[in-house]
Structures are given as C-alpha cells and as structure tokens.
Amino acid sequence: AAPGEVLLSVRGVSRRFGGLVAVDDLSLDVRQGTITALIGPNGSGKTTLFNLVTGGLPADSGEIWFDGRRIDRLRPWRRCHLGLGRSYQVTRLFKDMTVRENVVAPLADARWRTMLSDAVRGHEAERARELLDLVGLGRFAGQQAGALSYGQQKLVELAQVLMLEPKLILLDEPAGGVNPSLLGRIAEVIRELNAAGVTFLVVEHNIPLVLDLCDPVAVLAGGRLIAEGPPGRVREDPVVLDAYLGA
C-alpha cells in the first residue's frame, strides 16, 4: 500500500464469548505509514481484536482485509507471510537460548511452512545482527536471552518480529513493565522503524506515551469504536474522557 492508503481494514467484525459481545460490529482502518494506537479500558476488546486480526480467533461475522486481500479466513501463518507481524504482551522468548538464536527462531517455522531454500540462511545471521544493532542490543547477541532485563527482552521480541519483514506490526503493550530508562529507547525504535516504512497498531496503557507516539488514536469501549482521530482531539473528546481517560 502507498503511504496513507488503508493497509488493514476491519469491517463490521463481531466476536462473542457465550452471551458476551467482546467485539461488536467493529470497523477500523489502519493506514500505511501510521503508528495507530488502540486504547480503551480493560475488557473493551483490544486483545480480542488483535486475535481476530492475526487469526488466533475466528470472527463470528464481518471481514478483515490486509494489503488488498481478504484475510479473515486464512490461517495465522498465512497472514504472517502476507506481512502481518505481532509481538506479545507476555514475553515468549526462549530464555536458555542466545539473543541471536531467538531472533532467528521464527524463521525455522517459516521455512518449514514455505520450503524456503537453505540459500537464505547466510543472510539470516547477517539480518539478525542488523536488527539487533537497530534495537540497540548488538552487544548482547551472544548472551542468554533470560539474562536480559524485561525491557531488553521486549526489544529482542521486536527484532524477532522484524525478522519476518512485516508491513504491519501489532504491538501489545510495548511499554508495559518496562523500566523508564528503556521506555524512550523503545519509542525511538518504533519511530525509526516507522520512518523506514513499517506501520504499527499499538495497544498501550501508558497514555502519555500513546499521545506522544501515535497518530491516529482509536478508542474502544464495550467492543465498539467510540472515537478515532489525532491524539490532541481524542484527548479532549468528552465521550473518551467519560468512558476512559477520566475514569
């Protein structure tokens, strides 16, 4: 997609759990080149929406389009190969493996799925090193992942997601549990990647960070989109203040 064009389009998507409507006829567009925020109170449907987009959960109704294709019936790994990346709130690194091995790990699965040739391998180590340098962890490449701080592990995860060259990254609480000294670094890495053409959809509870980093900001409440727009406007929207920010 060209800058400003719709990259991800969620169209009238719903998902119920028993009698509970977690995502309620939701429509949301993420445009190429943006760092779009998805905020809202606990239980508003943010994680469910991420799972619907990545394919961890099937939608009950509606359509999801990514980069010009309908993806809501595709298996999660197919969506991943189309350029949809995701990082996780709970770190899923292999703590006993080195940082470098962790960054390359997603490719093992990707190769098995697509029968990529071994010729790619030489580039992998190189690419892993570039990505670790990019997130500022080059000097930790040979260390055990489990020995890094929580915030550093989040940066390793980001490098891991980048290994698959995503067009869009769904980021789940990049700042959650991260020590303040690394927060600025994480925001800077997201900005750099964005400048290099990666689009982001970010769930984050740190509102000052969201307002600083993201544009537009989409606000969910009760599985519905209650506001969307530039951070300055959303921050002052009475509906948002009432449902969320003022709470």
Site for ligand ADP, rule CB under 6 A = 17, 20, 22, 40, 42-48
Q: Which is nearer to ligand ADP, 10 or 156 (by Cβ)?
A: 10
User: Tokens 């019936």 — which residue?
Assistant: 73
CB of 149 to ligand ADP, least distance (A): 25
CB of 233 to ligand ADP, least distance (A): 22
Separation between Cα atoms, residue 217 and residue 184, nearest integer Å:
19
User: Tokens 């991420």 — which residue?
Assistant: 50
Q: Which is nearer to ligand ADP, 17 or 150 (by Cβ)?
A: 17
Separation between Cα atoms, residue 135 and residue 129, nearest integer Å:
10
3-state class (DSSP) for residue 174 = coil
Please give the C-alpha separations between residue 118 and each of 41, 69, 122, in angstroms, as whole numbers.
Answer: 46, 29, 8
CB of 80 to ligand ADP, least distance (A): 21
Q: Which is nearer to ligand ADP, 89 or 144 (by Cβ)?
A: 89
Q: Which is nearer to ligand ADP, 62 or 136 (by Cβ)?
A: 62
Q: Which is nearer to ligand ADP, 157 or 173 (by Cβ)?
A: 173
Separation between Cα atoms, residue 61 and residue 174, nearest integer Å:
29
CB of 221 to ligand ADP, least distance (A): 9
Give the list of residues 6+ apart from residue 156 with CB closer than 8 angstroms, or none.
93, 99, 102, 103, 132, 135, 137, 145, 148
CB of 43 to ligand ADP, least distance (A): 4
